[in-house]
Amino acid sequence: MVPGRQNTLWVGTQDARLLVYQMSDPSSTLLELQLDGGPVICISHIEDSVFVGTSEGYIHVFTRDVSVNEWCDNDPLTKKLGNNSICAMLPIGGHMWCSCGCQIFVISPENVTVEHLFSTHNNTSAQVYKMVNSGSGVWLAIRNSPVIRLFHAKTGEHLEDYDISTVVHHLFTGSHNSSRRRRAENVRVTALLASSSTGALWIGTSSGVVVVVPIAKPPVAPKICGPPFLSYMGHYDGVRFLMQAQSRIRKLIVAQSTEKENVYEEITSQVIISCGKGMEDFRDHTMGTAGHSEHIQNSSYLIVWHYPASEENS
């Protein structure tokens, strides 16, 4: 049994192992379990259940015994959803959305039954590998595609498509750098983030560009409701992930007279973070990879966008 009262970190490996660590002591392994179904692809948590998806279409569901507040690790519920990898899982409305190929399985965590099943694409070989929730909608990214698709979170109805390739091509128009021109030829979505604080969908691309599109706020479906914005700072390679975090900054308030002392004001804000290889300014059409050292090009960089509280609520 894994103690449920402790904060834990669940890690899946390429050799199909599941490792659970105690957050207060990362050197201590609470659980090491060999799973069926190939390498672990994704892990997600909903209420008193942890879902583990594998490359061969299996999900393993671990539940917590609330009477003793312990995780039951010796007998997980296992179900095979298909022959494709479980690439993405997303908790929505008390259910877990699991992608397997082009299909979405809406699963009840209580008994691991499929309560709803629908297809996201006419091409049966398409593979959903990113999902984000915003209000009554879920945006999906298809592997090796520049198109994201919006579905209703309750009915699974297809509501909208958005193609980011034209926006990225426009950014690189006029560039004399051969690397940028190549990256604009086959644009794909590599990361997704729905941010309520910025009222936008953040899209990471294979070309290193981050595209930001405004989406409608609840209670209406989160459809695109304005022109896209592009970040002129990006990466040399595909955006690996996007995430949102809270930031606290101490701002110095200088006293207006010598009779008063300087004070610090704590400002809470939201930041959006992207990760990718290298960092470059897309506004510079002359400087390509030759303008930066090999260390910068091959190192992983984080780019941070800061949104003060006053702008969030405006």
Burial 82-119 (b: 16+ CB within 10 A, else e): bebbbbbbbbeeebbbbbbbbbbbbbebeebeeeeeee
The pLDDT score that the predictor gives to residue 314 is 33
Helices 178-185 + 165-172 axis angle, to 10: 170
pLDDT at 309: 53
Q: Is the pLDDT of residue 258 over 80?
A: no
| Lowest-pLDDT range of 230-244, 247-261, 277-291 | 277-291
Mean pLDDT of 112-133: 94
Query: Do β-strands 25-34 and 137-142 pair in parallel, antiparallel, or remain unpaired?
Result: unpaired
First-last CA distance in the chain: 48
Of 120, 139, 312, 131, which Cα lies nearest the Cα of 215?
A: 139
Residue 58 exposure: Cα atoms within 13 Å on the Cβ side: 14
- Spell out the residues 6+ positions from residue 256 whose beta carbon is closer than 8 angstroms to its own: none
Question: In the predicted model, what is the mean pLDDT of residues 98-103?
Answer: 96
For residue 75 the two structure tokens come to 């007998």
Q: How many CA atoms lie within 13 A of 47 on its CB side?
A: 12
pTM for the model stands at 0.85
| Count of C-beta atoms within a 10 Å radius of residue 77 | 15
DSSP state of 216: P
pLDDT at 284: 72
**Amino acid found at 168:** V
Radius of gyration of the chain (CA): 22
